[in-house]
């Protein structure tokens, strides 16, 4: 008796799931101009933040390369002493 109840409940659940899978959701409402502008603003801000993060990461990578490879920053040449004049 228990086995029949379990089998019928599983079969009923599968049939209900099959019908629910075929149902369609209503389309999303159209966005207003203000909502479109807000989303564009968010996208622009996210792109700017990503660009800034990338620039910081590149600067850290260059600094790490210079530190570990022993490449020094170029130093300015010493000023040449004025020739011919002594004090």
Q: Hey, what are 63's tokens?
A: 């600094």
- Do the beta carbons of residue 71 and residue 65 sit within 8 Å? yes
Q: What is the pLDDT along the chain (87 residues), one digit of tens a residue?
A: 788 888 888 888 777 776 766 778 888 888 899 999 999 999 999 999 999 999 999 999 999 988 888 666 677 777 765 555 555
Q: What's the distance, CA 19 to chain centroid?
A: 38
pTM above 0.75, yes or no: no
> Which pLDDT score, from 0 to 100, does residue 84 have?
57
């Amino acid at each position: 008796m228990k086995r029949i109840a379990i089998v019928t409940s599983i079969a009923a659940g599968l049939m209900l799931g099959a019908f629910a899978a075929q149902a369609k959701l209503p389309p999303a409402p159209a966005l207003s101009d203000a909502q479109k502008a807000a989303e564009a603003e968010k996208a622009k801000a996210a792109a700017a933040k990503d660009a800034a993060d990338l620039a910081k990461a590149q600067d850290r990578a260059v600094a790490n390369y210079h530190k570990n490879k022993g490449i020094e920053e170029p130093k300015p040449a010493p000023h040449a002493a004025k020739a011919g004049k002594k004090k």
